[in-house]
Amino acid sequence: MPLLREISTLLAKDFRLEWRQRAALGGLLLYVGSTVFVCFLSFSLRGGTPPPPAWNALLWVILLFAAINAVAKGFMQESPGQRLYYYTLVRPQAVVLAKIIYNALLLTAVALLGLFLYTVFLGNPIQDLALFVANLLLGAIGFATTLTLVSGIAAKAGGNGATLMAILGFPLMVPMLLLLIKVSKNALDGLDRGVSQQSLLTLLALNMIVGATSYVLFPFLWRG
């Protein structure tokens, strides 16, 4: 399967690049760490941990902004010359799939780290941890699929890429966020899993729609 080989080569390239420029990765981790710490300091003023609804909302806000920052640099750090070079070597579908997989792995790591730091500083009121983590992973994959194409679009516009990405990405992510927050609230309250089933299925379907649309549209974006 030449497509799979292209994807794995591109993935290896992305990981190697990330490892060589550790400043970006370190910056991302520090971003998550410092936001959680700021939350901790703000809540400690009122003594102790925040109530579960606030805990939940803050976690997702932190993850959302971390995801925007993490994905934004993906296509933007590549120069037009570099892009042309890839264009001659691999097909665009491989580029977008590799980027989605890479971003999904990166965001999974960020989400799990965020949850860990959150637990350390702000306590852990989750009653159904397995469901919560599964939902977190679905969220990371969903953010990655949505934001990858958006970051490609924003990179084309040049200039203020990160701002444009937030403007383009947030409204697209609201429906997904609503579902994610609902399921994680159910997990926090330890509700029966049957309650969350429909939302989880919708999330899965949404991830597939967004992934398929990115796969179809990315070649057009790349052609320019």
Partner 1 sequence: MTTAAIIGSVSGVAMTVAGVWGGQRLVEQRGGGAIWKGLAVLLIVGATVAGFLSPVPALPIVNESIRNLFFHVPMWFAMIMVLLVSVWYSIRYLREPSSRLDVLAHESAKTGIVLGLLGLATGSLWARFTWGAWWTPDPRLNGAAVAMLIYGAYLVLRGSFQDEQQRARVSAIYNIFAFAAAIPLLFVLPRLSGPSLHPGQTGNPGFNQYDLDNTMRKVFYPAVIGWILFAFWVAQVSSRYVFLKLKHDEQ
133 binds partner 1 (CB under 8 A): no
Residue of the chain from 157, 197, 204, 208 that contacts partner 1 (CB under 8 A): 157
Residue of the chain from 178, 197, 204, 208 that contacts partner 1 (CB under 8 A): 178
Please, which residue, 43 or 218, has the CB nearer to partner 1? 218
DSSP secondary structure code for residue 1 in this structure: -
- Rounded least distance, CB 218 to partner 1, Å: 8
- Rounded least distance, CB 98 to partner 1, Å: 19
Q: How far apart are CA 65 and CA 88, in angstroms?
A: 34
122 binds partner 1 (CB under 8 A): no
The piece of 52-60, 70-78, 104-112, 166-174 that touches partner 1 (CB under 8 A) is: 166-174
* Interface with partner 1: number of residues (CB under 8 A): 33
The piece of 2-10, 57-65, 125-133, 160-168 that touches partner 1 (CB under 8 A) is: 160-168
Interacting residue ranges for partner 1, rule: CB under 8 A: 146, 149-150, 153, 156-157, 159-160, 164, 167-168, 170-172, 174-176, 178-179, 182, 198-199, 202, 206, 209-210, 213-214, 217, 220-221, 223-224
